Amino acid sequence: MLPTLIVLLLVVVAVAAIVWVVRKGPPHVARPGEDQDTAWNDPITPADRDRRP
């Protein structure tokens, strides 16, 4: 009976730890006005342009 209670207690602690980590959320949430530019949508301009007239 005692080993069953120990295993049950460990399972409860593991589930509680997983729920706590999942509900904690992301470590950083961007605030309005904070610089979020990653340049993923900037237009692509070639470095060497064709200089022919």
Give the per-residue pLDDT at 15: 97
- 8-49 pLDDT per residue, tens: 999 999 999 999 988 877 666 667 766 666 677 777 776 666
Give the per-residue pLDDT at 21: 87
Give the per-residue pLDDT at 10: 98
Give the per-residue pLDDT at 44: 75
3-state secondary structure of 6: helix
Going through the chain in order, the beta strands assigned E by DSSP cover none
Give the per-residue pLDDT at 7: 97
Give the per-residue pLDDT at 34: 65
